[in-house]
Structure 1
Amino acid sequence: MSDRQLTTDDTWVPDACTLPTAERPLRLSEFDQFFRDAVRGADRLSAQHLRLRLDGAEQVEETARDLTARESSCCSFFAFDIARHSPDLLTLDVRVPAGHVDVLDALAERATSVRSQG
């Protein structure tokens, strides 16, 4: 993903996404804010599995649960799992089927790039 795409450009959003086109820039902006504020690191566990290490704050967990629930409703191919390992460690696992690895690639790159810009 180029720097140009780190705006609210949704060209990487897959056709399988049912979120109305007009709402996509807002959702991307919400995820960008979440990545800047909450993501502390990212680990690619496999081609189909990304783990985001998050700030352990209660509000971060609430935001993660809200965003992932809304994203699951329009992009049903995502599987999200949020786990609290300790008061300071929260993880968000994102899995996709093989046919959507490119979407996970873009999400991982966006999370890392936006985080480093913040």
Structure 2
Amino acid sequence: MSSTGDVPYMDACTLPSTARPLRIAEFDALFAATLHRTERVNARHLRLTLTGRDGLKETVRDLTDRESRCCSFFTFTVTPAGDQVVLDVEVPDTQTAVLDGLATLAAEAAPAAR
């Protein structure tokens, strides 16, 4: 995840700087509409449980596939679970600040999710 503002900018990201706010907005909208629960498994692993609209699994896979292409340090695992999608996000030890930023983005977008 790279951005301006509260989410740390990472030199490892290849997304053009003009596209970064749009990508952040995509994650923000996804979390605001679907985030049900967050769990920080450990410093390198964030688990997000999403619920909601039809096509959610495909939406999450599309977004995480595109994010993986520009920020290859992310490992995203998308697991359908009934009417929910579990999104596991893992990073190497050197990128935990980026995962912190993603966790903050999720919490701010969907403050009722726990």
TM range (shorter): 0.7 to 0.9
- Which residue of 68, 87, 95 maps to 1:92? 87
Structure 2 counterpart of 1:31: 27
Q: For each residue in 1:44-92, what CA deviation from the matched residue of structure 2 results, as whole angstroms up to 9, or x when unmatched?
A: 0011000000105432111101100000000000000000122x22100
Give the distance between the partners of 1:10 and 1:23, measured in 2 at CA: 16
CA RMSD of aligned residues (A): 1.7
Counting only pairs closer than 5 Å after superposition, residues 103-118 of structure 1 correspond to structure 2 as 103-116=98-111
Q: Specify whether residues 52 and 19 from structure 1 end up closer, same or farther in structure 2 by C-alpha distance, changes over 3 A only.
A: same
Helix, strand or coil at the partner of 1:61: helix
Higher helix fraction (1 or 2): 1
Contact 2:7 2:102 in 1 (8 A): no
Counting only pairs closer than 5 Å after superposition, residues 57-76 of structure 1 correspond to structure 2 as 57-76=53-72
How far did 1:36 drift? 0.4
Helix, strand or coil at the partner of 1:76: coil
How far did 1:111 drift? 0.4
Helix, strand or coil at the partner of 1:14: coil
Question: 5+ unaligned residues in a row in structure 1: which ranges?
Answer: 1-7
Give the distance between the partners of 1:109 and 1:41, measured in 2 at CA: 13
How far did 1:37 drift? 0.7
Report % sequence identity: 47
Q: Specify whether residues 27 and 10 from structure 1 end up closer, same or farther in structure 2 by C-alpha distance, changes over 3 A only.
A: farther
Contact 1:10 1:25 in 2 (8 A): no
* TM-score, structure 2 normalization: 0.88
- Bigger shift: residues 9-18 or 32-41: 9-18
* TM-score, structure 1 normalization: 0.85
